[in-house]
Amino acid sequence: MSRPILIDFFATWCGPCKMQTPIIEDLKKRLGDAVEIKTIDVDHHMDLAGKYQIQVVPTLIIEKDGSVVHKLEGVTDAKRLEELLRPLI
């Protein structure tokens, strides 16, 4: 069984993205290796930003078995992320 993947699309110039980073780090401590976490700078990976139709940063994508399960735009708190990820673990 595959792990869910949390993809954090961000930009270095984005203020809200800087607020999202410690939330993701806290989530990583809580969930450990049960979830794969990737961070993608939209300015350096425009191809991936296009593939996932990223219009806003930060945007968080939750994938399971190669399919997008959730797409969250804007800063999302750790409690909400954990609620979405736990059932997928």
DSSP, res 51: H
- Active site annotation includes 17: yes
Distance, CA of 13 to chain centre: 18
List 17, 27, 31, 35, catalytic entry: 17
The predicted-structure confidence for 17-40, as pLDDT tens digits, reads as follows: 999 999 999 999 999 999 999 999
pTM (two decimals): 0.94
Nearest-angstrom CA–CA distance, 81 and 23: 9
Nearest-angstrom CA–CA distance, 16 and 76: 10
Confidence of residue 73 (pLDDT cuts 50, 70, 90): very high
- Active site annotation includes 14: yes
Strands 67-73 and 36-41: unpaired
The predicted-structure confidence for 55-66, as pLDDT tens digits, reads as follows: 999 999 999 999
Nearest-angstrom CA–CA distance, 58 and 61: 10
